Amino acid sequence: MLAFPKAKINLGLRITGRRPDGYHDIETLLYPVGLRDALEIVRGPEGSVKDSMVVSGIEIPGAAGDNIVLKSIRKLRESFQIPPLRIHLHKRIPAGAGLGGGSSDAASALHVINRIFSLSISASNLKEIAATVGSDCPFFIDQVPAFASGRGEILTPAPLVLRGYYAVLANPGISACTGEAYAACRPALPETSLRAITAAPPEEWKDKLINDFEEIMFPKYPVIKELKSAFYASGALFSSMSGSGSTVFGIYGKKPSLPKEIAGHIIFEGEL
């Protein structure tokens, strides 16, 4: 069975507190975009005794056995009998890009296996399983706009619809370390809620919809800040870094004419 895991962007990301479990509380709005990986999962050949996995496309750092797709499958096997599988993952979403590509792959694997083997796991239970794999994995079960809080696993549907707006995602080729970004952050409660800010159209978001990780990543990687500035210079209604970086996106009212500073880093563009 074939699935196409989507990327996401963060519309605002505030770090609101440190948790006793070592994680951080956040407030963000997760929005799916059309950049996709491709994931195929089928039963392994007769006589096979373990999973086999092939990854093509963009290179993923780390050992193949540590891939989050395999982690999600191991989590399912704690409760269900699942035979050896043959897996092919084609990567188009860069790793360390703030786009949730690995989490989306893992959530898609849960979906696919649930359907292949008729496990009858409800969407809510899939989200519970996904939360044990990664903090933002539950979002990718439904892949619809959602406010996320807690570690990112507490989801509330967001009424935001950006249909008709045009998005451009640019990645400078930097693999950002989320752990390092969180270690350097300074948690604080925002003065204005994310819900209140995003109730207005994107034309009113500039300087109000904030990603707390930008103040950490911009000094370390000036090219990320330069991309954001280039988006605004080219007419973007709103621009921000996604997640802990390094992807920067711009939202426009229509398809823009882009300068070379952005054009050389584009990984996706299209209507939202």
Top mean pLDDT of 76-80, 172-176, 188-192 is at 76-80
Asked whether residue 38 falls in the same domain as residue 129, the answer is yes
Asked whether residue 21 falls in the same domain as residue 81, the answer is yes
How far apart, in whole angstroms, are the C-alpha atoms of residue 262 and residue 244?
19
CATH at 182: 3.30.70.890
Amino acid identity of 217? M
CATH at 87: 3.30.230.10
At 76-122, the pLDDT tens digits run: 999 999 999 999 999 999 999 999 999 999 999 999 999 999 999 99
Count the Cβ atoms, other than its own, within 10 Å of residue 95. 15
Region label for 30, one of left (φ > 0), alpha (ψ between -120 and 50) or beta (otherwise)? beta
136 in catalytic set: yes
Confidence of residue 256 (pLDDT cuts 50, 70, 90): very high
Residue 103 has what pLDDT? 97
What's the predicted TM-score (pTM) here?
Answer: 0.95
At 16-75, the pLDDT tens digits run: 998 888 788 999 999 999 999 999 999 999 999 999 999 999 998 877 778 999 999 999
Buried b (16+ CB within 10 A) or exposed e, 151-187: bbbebeebebebeebbbbbbbbebebeeeebbeebee
Asked whether residue 123 falls in the same domain as residue 22, the answer is yes
6 in catalytic set: no
Residue 22 has what pLDDT? 78
Asked whether residue 137 falls in the same domain as residue 33, the answer is yes
- Output the furthest CA–CA distance in the chain (Å, rounded): 60
Q: Three-state SS for 132?
A: helix
Residue 44 DSSP symbol: P
Asked whether residue 6 falls in the same domain as residue 116, the answer is yes
How many domains is the chain built from? 2
Query: Exactly one of 37, 51, 105, 136 is catalytic; which is it?
Result: 136
Count the Cβ atoms, other than its own, within 10 Å of residue 39. 23
Query: Exactly one of 6, 8, 127, 228 is catalytic; which is it?
Result: 8
Owning domain of residue 16: 2-157
Q: What percent of the chain has pLDDT over 70?
A: 100
Residue 64 has what pLDDT? 74
Q: Provide mean pLDDT across the span 143-171.
A: 95
